[in-house]
């Protein structure tokens, strides 16, 4: 299964597939499923207890609604997705993208 079209509609990434179907994806779901090494380590670290009393600090980009800014093909099997929060190191296989449809 391969993507045949990519569009943004009402803030959702809409992917048309070679079988004629289309899937919709919320940027936050894609970002949360990022398979890059940094995100995987961060997810593993979430199991550790957090110090109490510390407030998180967000950058201006992180405080804005998340959006897909750019997608570029990686070979014939994946896309690299750039998000509005600046993150751009994940390689999302076609199978992963399809499995994350909302």
**pLDDT for residue 35:** 96
User: Each residue of 66-83: pLDDT tens digit?
Assistant: 999 999 999 999 999 999
- 24: containing domain: 3-44+65-99
Q: Domain with 77 in it: what CATH number?
A: 3.30.2020.30
Provide mean pLDDT across the span 73-95.
96
Decide if 69 is inside a domain: yes
Q: Say how far apart CA 62 and CA 85 lie, in whole Å.
A: 5
91: pLDDT strictly greater than 80 = yes
DSSP state of 86: S
- Those residues whose C-beta lies under 8 Å from the C-beta of residue 64, and which sit 6 or more positions away, are 84, 85
Decide if 57 is inside a domain.
no
d(C-alpha 6, C-alpha 33), whole Å: 19
Contact 4, 17 (CB under 8 A): yes
| Domains: count for the chain | 1
49 pLDDT above the threshold of 60: no
* The predicted structure's pLDDT at residue 64: 82
**pLDDT, tens digit, 9 for 90 and up, residues 4-23:** 999 999 999 999 999 999 99
Q: Which two tokens stand for residue 80?
A: 């690299």
């Amino acid at each position: 299964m391969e993507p045949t079209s990519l569009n943004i509609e009402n803030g959702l990434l809409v992917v048309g597939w070679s079988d004629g179907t289309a899937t919709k994806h919320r940027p936050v779901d894609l970002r949360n499923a990022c398979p890059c090494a940094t995100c995987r380590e961060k997810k593993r670290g979430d199991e550790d207890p957090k110090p109490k009393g510390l407030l998180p600090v967000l950058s201006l980009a992180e405080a804005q609604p998340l959006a897909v800014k750019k997608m570029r093909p990686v070979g014939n099997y994946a896309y690299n997705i750039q998000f509005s929060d600046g993150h751009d190191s994940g390689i999302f296989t076609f199978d992963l993208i399809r499995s994350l449809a909302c």
